[in-house]
Chains A and B, each alone.
Chain A
C-alpha cells in the first residue's frame, strides 16, 4: 500500500460519511433510526464524524416496541444523555395499550404492530423525508439487492423490481411530497467490519453483546432471556443460568442468545470466525416464512 491508499475500513468509513452528508445536504427533514444495536452505534459514530466539529444536524429516533431488553433502554438513555443527542422515542400507543406482545400475539403480529406500524407512524408524525437505517447488505439475501438510497412510496413500501439505478457515488434524492428515502450508509460493511470498527474506535455497545451468566429459557431451540415478568410463568420456571451472549439485539422474546464465553471484542470475533453461525439466525422473525425479510421490507420494515 502506498501513502495514498486507505485500508478497507477507512474506505468504508469515507463512503458512509459521504452518504450521511449527502442526506443532510439534500433533504429537508432527515432522521437517523437508532436501534441501540451495534450497527446503529457504528452509524451514529459515523454521523458524528461527518459533521465534526459541528453537531449532527438531525435527530435520532428509536422505535420502542416496548419489548426491548431492559439493558438496551438503560444504555439508550445513558448514551443520548452523555452525547447530548436529540433523541425521539416512539412507540405504537394503540398497540401497547391493547397489550400486543410476542407471547400473546406471536412474533408476526407483534413485529407488524409494534415495529413496522410503529415505525411508519413515527415517520409520518414527524414528516421525515429521509430515514437512515443501519442495515447491511451481507445480513440477508434481499438486503443484498437494496440500494443505498432506497426509495419508498407514500405507504413506505419498497418495490424490489422498481428500484432506481444507483451509480458511482451520485445519489438521487428527489422525492414527491409524502414519499421518502431510506438510506443505508453502512450497506457495504460486513459483520466483521462492524466489530473491527467498534474495536478500533472504542465505540460503546450494550453489554448484552458480551457473555455473562444470564437466566435463559430454551424455547424451540432459541435461548430466550428472562428479562421481565411478562414472560409467562410456566416458561420462567424453566429458566436456568447459562453463560450466554447476544449476537443481535431486538425484542427480548424474539432474540435468541448463544452460549458463549466471549467477554471481549477479540473473543467475540474469534468466536464468530470459528463458530460461524450467521447472525440473523438468532432473530426469530426470519423464520416466519420463506423470504420473510423481503416481505417485511416490501411492507415498510427495514
Chain B
C-alpha cells in the first residue's frame, strides 16, 4: 500500500485542511445504489480489512450479487433490513480521499420512503440521482429530482448506471440525457452533470473507463472531489439566531449560536429582533481566540456594547437587511408522520432556535411527487407534500428557503406524540394584499353549518325584513359614515332593526389589539364579517362602514357573510375631497408619523361590482337611493 511511504506529518497537515462535502444518494437496491457507494468507499481505500473480510463471509450467505462481492451488504445496517435486502432508513457513510472528506446520506428510493430521503437530503450539498441505463428516466427519477430541488440542493449528478448492460452505448446515454434535461428544466437546479458508469464493474466510478471512449468527462469520484460548493452558503444576509445566552458571571453576557448566514464583524451595528434595539458587536469570543469576524456555520459567542435584554430565539441582524418578521407565511410542507394531518391541531413549531405554536390555516395544494401535478386535498398523509399557509402564535424571523436554508426551514412537532410530524420550507411570506388567509377551509365548513331552530323565513315574517348586510366601502374621509349613520337613523324611524358597525366601534373594544398593518386590517375585516354574519343569521340588518381597500378582502368578507346577503356600496370620493373632509390622518402621514393608509401608501382598489356608487356631497339623494334599493330587494320592508 502506498500509504506506507507517506510522510505522516505531511499527511496529517494536509488531511486536516480538507473540506467537507455532504452528499445525498437516493435509489433502490435495483439501481445499484448501495453497490455504487460500496465501490466508492472500497476503491478509495478507506475500507478496513476486517470489514472486507466480514463482507466476503456475509456475501456468500445472504448476498444478492452472485459470485461478485456484494458491496451493498456493507451499507445495509439494521438486521431487518439486511434480511429484506433493502435499505430502510437513512444511513450515513464516511470516506475520504486525498482532496476531500465526504459524508454520504444514503437513503432508500421507494415512494414510501420519501420522508427518509427528505431527512437525508436536508444537509446535502449535492445529490446523486441513479438511473438504470436499461430503463432510463422513470417515475422514481423524477421524484428524486423533484425532492432534491425542493430541498434546494444546487448540484445534481445524474449517474447513469449499468452501462455494461447496454453495451456502453453512447446513443443510449444521450437518449437518457436529453429526456432528463427536458424534465429538469421545469425545476430550479443550477448544476446538473451526467456521468455514464457501471458501479458493479467499476467503470467511471473512480477511474475513467476505457470502455466508453466517447465519454470525455470526469469519473464520479473525480467530479465529487472537485465540485465547487463553498459558495452555496449565504454570506450576504446576516442572521444570528441566538441559541444560548451565556452568563457565567455578572460581567460577561454573551450570545451564542452557529451563524446562520452572512458575516458578523466586530464593531458591526446590529439590530435585535423582535425588540428592534440597536447596539454594536463588542467582541466575538471563542475558546481558541477572539475573532474579527465569524461566518456560517461557525459556532461563536458575541458580546454587545450595550446592555440589551436578549433571549434565546431572538435574532441579531444588520439594521439595513432585515428578515421577514411575521406570524404568517406560506411553505412547502412534507408530512412525515404515520398519523394523518389534522387541521385543527395546534402544533409546536421549531424554527431558527425559536419555539412557538403553529396552525396550518389552509392547504393550497398537494403536489404529486411523481407527476408534479397539483391537486386540492383536505389533509396530508405520510410522505405527501404540498403548499400550505401557516400561522404562528408569535412572529418568526424568516427568509424564503431558496434564499436562506437556515432561516427558511422549520419542523412541526405533534403536541401529543411529540413526533416530528412535518417539516417545511418557507416559500415566501404571505403577501398581506392576499389576506385574509385566516379564513380556512375549516371556517368555511363551519360557516355552512351554522344552524338554528328558527327558520330564516320565520324571522323574515316576524321582523318584516331580511337579515342582510349593507357594506359601504370608500377611502378614509370619503363620507361613508355620514351615509351609514343617516341610514341607521332612517331605518330605525321606519321600524326596521338594524345595527351599525364601523371602524371606531370595533377597534375600541373587540379588535383593540389590532393595528393598521395590512395583516391586521385584514383580520379586523374578518372579524367584522363574522359579526355581520351573526347579526344576519338573527334576521338583523347590518350596516358596515369600512374602507375595505381591495377586491380580495371584500370578496372574503362576502364569502363569510354569504354572497347573496352581501350588498356593497361605494362612496366615490376624490382623495382631495377626503383630505379636506377629514384632514388629521392625511396630515400625519404626510409628516411621516403614520403609514399604511389606503389611497396614500396602500393601494385602494375601486370596486367594479358595487350595487351603487355615491357622490359624497349628495347625502340626501344617496340615502333615498339606498332605501329604494332595500325596498326593491325586499330587504326592508319585506311585505
- Bind each other: yes
Q: Contact residues of A with B, CB < 8 Å? A: 1-2, 4-15, 17-18, 21-22, 24-25, 48-55, 137-138, 141-145, 160-161, 163-170, 172, 174-176, 187-188, 190, 192, 196, 199-200, 266-267, 269-270, 273-274, 276-278, 281, 290-291, 294
Contacts of B301 in A (CB 8 A): 52
Contact for A18 among B79, B235, B258, CB less than 8 A: B258
B368 interface residue (CB < 8 Å to A)? no
A-B contact pairs, 30 of them (CB 8 A): A1-B19, A1-B230, A6-B297, A8-B20, A15-B258, A15-B297, A18-B258, A22-B243, A50-B299, A51-B246, A53-B252, A54-B246, A54-B247, A54-B254, A145-B77, A160-B78, A165-B423, A166-B420, A167-B122, A168-B406, A168-B409, A169-B258, A170-B409, A188-B92, A188-B103, A269-B11, A270-B8, A274-B1, A274-B4, A277-B49
Total A-B Cβ pairs within 8 A: 199
Kindly report which residue of chain B lies nearest to residue A166, judged by CB atoms. Answer: B119
B410 interface residue (CB < 8 Å to A)? yes
Q: Are B252 and A172 in contact (CB under 8 A)?
A: no
Contacts of B9 in A (CB 8 A): 266
Q: Are A269 and B18 in contact (CB under 8 A)?
A: no
B161 interface residue (CB < 8 Å to A)? no
Q: List which B305-357 residues lie within 8 A (CB) of chain A.
A: 312, 336, 348, 350-351, 353
Contacts of A172 in B (CB 8 A): 350, 411, 413, 418-420
Contact for B411 among A145, A170, A176, CB less than 8 A: A170
Interface SS majority for chain B: mixed
Interface string of B1-22 (1 = CB under 8 A from A): 1011010110110011111100
A188 to chain B, nearest CB (A): 6
B162 to chain A, nearest CB (A): 26
- Chain A to chain B: the 8 pairs with minimum beta-carbon distance, closest first: A54-B248, A141-B77, A278-B48, A167-B122, A17-B299, A49-B287, A52-B287, A174-B418
A194 to chain B, nearest CB (A): 12
Contact for B8 among A7, A52, A187, A266, CB less than 8 A: A266
B511 interface residue (CB < 8 Å to A)? no
Q: In the complex, A166 Cα to B123 Cα: how many Å? A: 10
Known: A53-B248, A165-B420, A267-B8. A142 touches B119 (CB 8 A): no
B476 interface residue (CB < 8 Å to A)? no
Q: List which B10-69 residues lie within 8 A (CB) of chain A.
A: 11-12, 15-20, 48-51
Most buried by A among B12, B118, B405: B12
Q: In the complex, A196 Cα to B20 Cα: how many Å? A: 15
Q: Are A170 and B350 in contact (CB under 8 A)?
A: yes
Q: Are B258 and A190 in contact (CB under 8 A)?
A: no
Contact for A294 among B18, B79, B119, B246, CB less than 8 A: B79
Q: In the complex, A203 Cα to B288 Cα: how many Å? A: 13
Q: In the complex, A49 Cα to B258 Cα: how many Å? A: 13
B62 to chain A, nearest CB (A): 11
Among B93-101, B358-366, B497-505, B525-533, the one that faces the other chain is B93-101
Contact for A137 among B94, B246, B409, CB less than 8 A: B94
Q: Are B312 and A25 in contact (CB under 8 A)?
A: yes
Interface string of B128-146 (1 = CB under 8 A from A): 0000000000000000000
Q: Are A144 and B16 in contact (CB under 8 A)?
A: no
B285 interface residue (CB < 8 Å to A)? yes
Contacts of A138 in B (CB 8 A): 93-94
Kindly report which residue of chain B lies nearest to residue A169, judged by CB atoms. Answer: B258
B37 to chain A, nearest CB (A): 11
Q: Are B3 and A21 in contact (CB under 8 A)?
A: no
A84 to chain B, nearest CB (A): 13
Q: Contact residues of B with A, CB < 8 Å? A: 1, 3-4, 6, 8-9, 11-12, 15-20, 48-51, 75-80, 82, 88-94, 96, 101, 103, 115, 118-119, 122-123, 230-231, 233, 235, 243-244, 246-248, 252, 254, 256-258, 263, 285-288, 295, 297-299, 301, 312, 336, 348, 350-351, 353, 405-406, 409-411, 413, 418-420, 423
Q: In the complex, A95 Cα to B67 Cα: how many Å? A: 49
A185 to chain B, nearest CB (A): 11
Kindly report which residue of chain A lies nearest to residue B414, judged by CB atoms. Answer: A174
Known: A21-B243, A54-B248, A168-B122. A142 touches B78 (CB 8 A): yes
Contact for B243 among A5, A25, A270, A291, CB less than 8 A: A25
B72 to chain A, nearest CB (A): 12
Kindly report which residue of chain B lies nearest to residue A140, judged by CB atoms. Answer: B77
B45 to chain A, nearest CB (A): 9
Contacts of A143 in B (CB 8 A): 77
Q: In the complex, A163 Cα to B8 Cα: how many Å? A: 40
Q: In the complex, A156 Cα to B219 Cα: how many Å? A: 46
Kindly report which residue of chain A lies nearest to residue B52, judged by CB atoms. Answer: A276
Q: Are A8 and B243 in contact (CB under 8 A)?
A: no
Contacts of A1 in B (CB 8 A): 17, 19, 230
Q: Are B244 and A4 in contact (CB under 8 A)?
A: no
Q: Are A165 and B336 in contact (CB under 8 A)?
A: yes
Q: In the complex, A276 Cα to B53 Cα: how many Å? A: 12
Contacts of B4 in A (CB 8 A): 274
Contacts of A55 in B (CB 8 A): 248
Kindly report which residue of chain A lies nearest to residue B17, judged by CB atoms. Answer: A7
Known: A6-B297, A290-B79. A25 touches B8 (CB 8 A): no
Q: Are B285 and A7 in contact (CB under 8 A)?
A: no
Contact for A291 among B79, B409, B413, CB less than 8 A: B79
Q: In the complex, A239 Cα to B286 Cα: how many Å? A: 49
A183 to chain B, nearest CB (A): 15
A142 to chain B, nearest CB (A): 5
Q: In the complex, A188 Cα to B297 Cα: how many Å? A: 15
Q: Are A8 and B19 in contact (CB under 8 A)?
A: yes
Most buried by A among B78, B230, B312: B78
Most buried by B among A137, A170, A269: A170
Q: Are B19 and A7 in contact (CB under 8 A)?
A: yes
Kindly report which residue of chain B lies nearest to residue A199, judged by CB atoms. Answer: B12
Q: In the complex, A282 Cα to B629 Cα: how many Å? A: 93
Q: Are A21 and B235 in contact (CB under 8 A)?
A: no
Contacts of B89 in A (CB 8 A): 145, 160, 163
B494 to chain A, nearest CB (A): 61
B459 to chain A, nearest CB (A): 50
Contacts of A145 in B (CB 8 A): 77-78, 89-92
Q: In the complex, A52 Cα to B300 Cα: how many Å? A: 10
B617 to chain A, nearest CB (A): 60
Q: Are B122 and A49 in contact (CB under 8 A)?
A: no
Kindly report which residue of chain B lies nearest to residue A160, judged by CB atoms. Answer: B78
Q: Are B94 and A188 in contact (CB under 8 A)?
A: yes
Contacts of A169 in B (CB 8 A): 123, 258, 297, 406
